[in-house]
Structure 1
Amino acid sequence: MNQNMNQLNELIEITRDGQHFYQHALDEVKDVDLQHLFRDMAQAKTHIIQALSVKVAANQQQPAKGGTTAGKLREMYADTKAQLGDTDAVYIDQLDQTEERILAAFEDVLKTADPDVKALLAIELPKIRACHERIHTLNHSGRSNRD
């Protein structure tokens, strides 16, 4: 598998971490507005994963099917921390950190990618930035109480 397809598969895995985490958090929070937000964010991640997977498959490679260990550990950490405090605030904060990780990964790949991969990332990166901005703004708006 070439370098660009490896990088896209890593982005798929990291984005899937976010997708799974939003879906998980959706079941944990009671606030209906947060549930709607988390559902929207999970759906946005699904669309990005699909776009990246199509590119990998078009290069006769197998798109990544899972997430990362780091993503699963963050989810477990959030679950544990939520038992000790404000559940909504914990999930918002941890999802903000997940978005930071996803955005950084996309920006790193963009620096070294071939032109055709850069073109795909140029389409997907604004979506990543919008998701990041939504949760980051919520996290720092006073809605959640950071520890």
Structure 2
Amino acid sequence: MSLAREVSFEIDERIFDEGGKADRFWVIHTGTVALDLRVPGRRAAVVETLGAGEVLGWSWLVPPHHWHLGAQATSPVRAYEFDAAAVRDLCGKSPELEHELCTYVAGVIAGRLRSARVRLLDLYAPYGAGEVP
């Protein structure tokens, strides 16, 4: 937390765009953020909504460090912002921290892939996703 700084975003404020440079990440304290995906000829499709306690952004950890999705505040947001280069530098000095952070972020990515799968099945499968027990 010594690397964190408190930030806020207004409702409908664009936080980052798909393809942009991923040089930071956030832990949401209050509010909600929609993750979206560009769809040619249409407006961006929301793929997930994040809230309090969730990490916003993982692309900073994986080269080439460009956002895979876009993000927009859907309510007023307060968050802790972390500079990616400073966190990566700290990880380089502490293999234990690097391992814990990579394990955590991998879990975040896996959870978001599961959510995207369910959402896609609900949209396109003939009988819906049907959560797997």
Shorter-chain TM-score range: 0.3 to 0.5
| Structure number with higher helix proportion | 1
Tell me the TM-score normalised to structure 2 length: 0.34
By percentage of residues, which structure has more strand?
2
The alignment's TM-score, normalised by the length of structure 1, stands at: 0.31
